């Protein structure tokens, strides 16, 4: 069999393109935060993870420019050898202090953070426990580790306890969970997770990619629940609230040091560029100086949830600025995306395997910098399209 046969038989994208409903890899001409430019049209962006709106903040932009002038564009090497820099280690100290842990380790991407951390800690004789709605990077890190994978139904603590009871006590165990789930906008029940992990001898890692800058005064899910000292590892990315790219893991010094010397995705990747590092440092400063941004993004999320529910849309269990509109069908999800895009609203269509079968949805997310007028206009467009397509 020709290895490329499956490529020539892949027609899903072709069919959507022919229908004018292909929603992926859209080449935007310009991104201005709450609005983007596409083929000369201004479109309200309701699909970004730029929660605090910092990609356009003057201080953040200038920090990136200044870093290039001072350090150049890249270190062109792994942190393990020639690519480490003082500015990266400065960032690690700031991040550790911010989330309340002894140490932090910066990776070049969030994906690499989960791949490297999980595969470094979990061996073939260990067990990794996952929520069925965990992000793909967590799942891939678990597979890469070679350890046994156990999964429990989303946020179902009774099912999780049954899973934990069935596991041998002598095995090393790591539970990895999203703090704020990226598709449905709900939050992990961390207090109960902490109790169960303590009872069954399981280490706990929380992925705060979408919670960092949003929950717990910006510190994440553990701070939101007042459980920072009960969570073993806190992970987050820079590609959401921090207006950059990269990621970090934070925890006890000995654990972070071990990961530093065993995470293949860190050791065999070039280090995060200086401009991206400086961007995160500046974004952290702005977040501390302007805490009202955190308040505002949550207010905007609450306003939109209330507005969608009033119109008759199903927003699931969302309680954050990530607000899904559950459609439940592939074709109608793509059709809804197309009509909203035509009317000047950018959202993300999500189908399986990114979400559970029957939970196909339009993922909407909001920024601190969305204006009231923009949000009201988005609701008006949703009302129009919802009635037109009989979604409401």
Residue 14's pLDDT is 86
- Per-residue pLDDT reduced to its tens digit, 11-26: 888 888 888 888 999 9
Question: Which structural domains are found in the chain, ordered by start?
Answer: 5-56+291-388 (3.90.1150.10), 58-289 (3.40.640.10)
Q: Which residues of the chain have pLDDT under 50?
A: none
Residue 12's pLDDT is 81
Compute the chain's Rg from CA coordinates: 21
Residue 358's pLDDT is 81
Q: How many residues does the chain have?
A: 392
Alpha helices in the chain (DSSP H): 5-9, 12-18, 58-71, 86-99, 110-121, 136-145, 157-165, 190-199, 221-225, 253-262, 264-267, 274-289, 292-311, 330-342, 372-388
Distance of CA 205 to the CA centre of its chain: 15
Return the closest-CA partner of residue 29 out of 20, 38, 21, 16: 38
What span, in angstroms and rounded, lies between the C-alpha atoms of 236 and 105? 11
- 368 class by beta-carbon count within 10 Å (0-12 exposed, 13-18 middle, 19+ buried): buried
Query: Are 260 and 105 spatial neighbours (Cβ–Cβ below 8 Å)?
Result: yes
> Which SS3 state, helix, strand or coil, does residue 41 take?
strand
What span, in angstroms and rounded, lies between the C-alpha atoms of 254 and 378? 48
Residue 371's pLDDT is 97
* Joined tokens for residue 378: 């988005």
Query: Are 183 and 363 spatial neighbours (Cβ–Cβ below 8 Å)?
Result: yes
What span, in angstroms and rounded, lies between the C-alpha atoms of 361 and 219? 28
């Amino acid at each position: 069999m020709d290895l490329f046969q499956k490529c020539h038989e892949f027609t899903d994208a072709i069919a959507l393109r022919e229908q004018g409903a292909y929603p992926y890899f859209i080449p935007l001409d310009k991104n201005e935060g709450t609005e983007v430019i596409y083929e000369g049209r201004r479109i309200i962006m309701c699909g970004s993870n730029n929660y605090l709106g910092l990609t356009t903040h003057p201080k953040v932009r200038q920090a990136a420019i200044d870093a290039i002038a001072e350090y150049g564009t890249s270190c062109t090497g792994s942190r393990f050898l020639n690519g480490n820099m003082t500015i990266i280690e400065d960032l690690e100290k700031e991040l550790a202090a911010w989330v309340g842990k002894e140490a932090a380790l910066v990776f070049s991407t969030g994906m690499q953070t989960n791949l490297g951390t999980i595969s470094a800690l979990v061996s073939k004789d260990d067990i990794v426990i996952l929520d069925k709605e965990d992000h793909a990077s967590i799942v891939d890190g678990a597979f890469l580790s070679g350890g046994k994978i156990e999964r429990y139904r989303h946020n179902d603590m009774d099912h999780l306890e049954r899973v934990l009871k069935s596991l041998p006590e002598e095995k090393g165990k790591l539970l990895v969970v999203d703090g704020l789930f990226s598709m449905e906008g709900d939050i992990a029940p961390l207090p109960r997770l902490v109790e169960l992990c303590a009872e069954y001898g399981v280490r706990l890692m929380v992925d705060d990619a979408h919670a960092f800058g949003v929950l717990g005064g910006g510190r994440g899910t553990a701070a939101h629940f007042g459980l920072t000292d009960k969570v073993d590892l806190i992970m987050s990315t820079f590609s959401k609230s921090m207006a950059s790219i990269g990621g970090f893991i934070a925890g006890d010094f000995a654990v972070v040091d071990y990961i530093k010397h065993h995470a293949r995705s860190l050791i065999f990747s070039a280090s995060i560029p200086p401009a991206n590092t400086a961007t995160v440092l500046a974004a952290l400063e702005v977040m501390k100086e302007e805490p009202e941004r955190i308040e505002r993004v949550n207010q905007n999320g609450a306003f939109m949830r209330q507005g969608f529910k009033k119109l008759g849309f199903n927003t699931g269990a969302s309680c954050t600025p990530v607000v899904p509109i559950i459609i439940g069908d592939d074709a109608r999800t793509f059709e809804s995306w197309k009509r909203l895009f035509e009317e000047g609203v950018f959202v993300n269509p999500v189908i399986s395997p990114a979400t559970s079968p029957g939970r196909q949805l339009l993922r909407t997310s909001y920024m601190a910098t969305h204006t009231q007028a923009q949000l009201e206009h988005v609701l008006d467009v949703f009302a129009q399209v919802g009635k037109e397509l009989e979604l409401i």
